[in-house]
Amino acid sequence: MARRPLDESDVRVRPGRRGSRPRTKTRPEHADAEIALVTGVDRGRYTVLVEAGTPQERRAIAMKARELGRERVVPGDLVDLVGDTSGADGSLARIVRITERTTVLRRTADDTDPIERVIVANADQLVIVTALADPEPRTRMIDRCVAAAYDAGMDALLALTKADLADPAELVAMYAPIGVSVVVTSRTDGDIDGLEELRAALAGRTSVLVGHSGVGKSTLVNALVPDAYRAVGVVNDVTGRGRHTSTSAVALRVPEPPGTEPTWVIDTPGVRSFGLAHVTPEHLLGAFSDLSDVAQECPRGCTHTADAPDCALDEWVAAGPDATVQAARAARLASFRRLLASRTGTLDADPRGGGGHASGSEPQPS
Ligand SMILES: Nc1nc2c(ncn2[C@@H]2O[C@H](COP(=O)(O)OP(=O)(O)OP(=O)(O)O)[C@@H](O)[C@H]2O)c(=O)[nH]1
Ligand SMILES: [Zn+2]
């Protein structure tokens, strides 16, 4: 897994694991703290699941303790909780500590906020929900998502919906060379073909679902998690709103037979693009171990782009033992370079005509 790059949470030194925490006046021990999973955030109120997987499992509402300062708490975070952790009506617990994150996914910086902020923690897979038609797939957007997933140390899964409207073959061929798994779904009178394959790909993992409006993401989430948004209604009891209208990410548990690893999907309404400004070629290369080995031979400071002089990756393609291997290597290298280019505004031509936007938030198709 690629090393996690620094983010705004790294400016402070975080304490180590339970038992080795420094005792200071400003950082009390909180030995009685309970571990909880953050499932949603709504205007300073956090919905958390306490003692998950035990008979005492309960939802509670919490706020951030002052000692956490500006550090952001996001869905997927495992936190230490103190105070009233009963989850009873009107109770409010306090989050005093964030457990070190295994992965972080950032949304893009934009004009109003120049910092790429963490939006989800500890997820292990990014599911890019893309319709095969209506709306047309946009490969540049998919590339950016794959780059964000690999950068975050997550796997990428392409969920191609509406296969009743168009053939998935072209997109499958485009993403297979870079290790993106693909699940194809289609809805036919109430049933969703491919749902069981999707369920299998999600089982026991924490997956973030992204997709533009109209691609069929809600259709999938509702099929996976019946009453998806009623399950997170706890936050709404506090805010007094009848519906979940927050635009931040929310973690939903997919029902599983008892005794199996929990399966979580994290829906990200309103997230349209991911922060890639901080991603270096070397870091992205880390997700491609074969290419990364070859690139050891590159000249110092090689950018590995198609126009980079003496890039060892080009020699590696040419050195393939036969035409089949060469073609496979060429496809993999071309796909890697496409991801590399998707970080910046250098890739304007979307091969499928989906409109290449230079950077920042991608506008939603209407
Ligand atoms: N033909 C076809 N239509 C589908 C399929 N899945 C979903 N749809 C339709 O596509 C439209 C959008 O589906 P949603 O599930 O609402 O899409 P979404 O991505 O959640 O979009 P928002 O709710 O706008 O965020 C709806 O009219 C669905 O009925 C499919 O497999 N085939
Ligand atoms: Zn190179």
For residue 143, the Cα-to-chain-centroid distance in whole angstroms is 14
Answer yes or no: is 311 a known binding residue. Answer: yes
Q: Which residue's alpha carbon is at the smallest distance from atom 30 of ligand 1?
A: 162
Q: Please, what are the domains in the chain? A: 8-98 (2.40.50.140), 104-267 (3.40.50.300), 281-342 (no CATH)
pLDDT at 248 (0 to 100): 75
Asked whether residue 355 carries a pLDDT value surpassing 70, the answer given is no
Asked whether residue 330 carries a pLDDT value surpassing 50, the answer given is yes
Ligand 2 centroid to Cα of residue 341, in Å, is 14
Ligand 1 centroid to Cα of residue 366, in Å, is 13
Answer yes or no: is 217 a known binding residue. Answer: yes
From 134, 198, 219, give the residue whose CB has the most ligand 1 atoms within 8 Å, as the site to mutate. 219
Ligand 1 centroid to Cα of residue 213, in Å, is 8
Atom of ligand 1 nearest to the CA of 211: 19
Ligand 1 centroid to Cα of residue 357, in Å, is 24
Answer yes or no: is 214 a known binding residue. Answer: yes
Answer yes or no: is 216 a known binding residue. Answer: yes
pTM of the predicted structure, to 2 decimals: 0.81
Ligand nearest to the CA of 185: 1
Q: Please, which pLDDT band fits residue 24 given cuts at 50, 70 and 90?
A: very low
ipTM, two decimals: 0.96
**Which ranges in 72-210 belong to alpha helices (H)?**
139-152, 169-175, 195-202
pLDDT digits (tens, 9 = 90+) for 236-268: 344 444 344 445 789 999 998 878 889 999 998
pLDDT at 363 (0 to 100): 39
Q: Is 100 exposed, middle or buried (0-12, 13-18, 19+ CB in 10 A)?
A: middle
- Pocket, ligand 1, Cβ cutoff 6 A: 161-162, 164-165, 185-187, 211, 213-219
CA–CA separation, 185 and 193 (whole Å): 5
* 93-98 and 58-64 strand pairing: parallel
Q: 175, 165 in Cβ contact below 8 A?
A: no
CA–CA separation, 294 and 258 (whole Å): 46
Handedness of CA 146, 149, 151, 154 (dihedral sign): negative
Answer yes or no: is 145 a known binding residue. Answer: no
Ligand 2 centroid to Cα of residue 302, in Å, is 5
Q: Which residue's alpha carbon is at the smallest distance from atom 24 of ligand 1?
A: 213
Lowest-pLDDT range of 1-15, 20-34, 106-120, 328-342 = 1-15
**Which ranges in the chain belong to alpha helices (H)?**
139-152, 169-175, 195-202, 217-224, 234-239, 281-285, 289-294, 312-318, 323-342
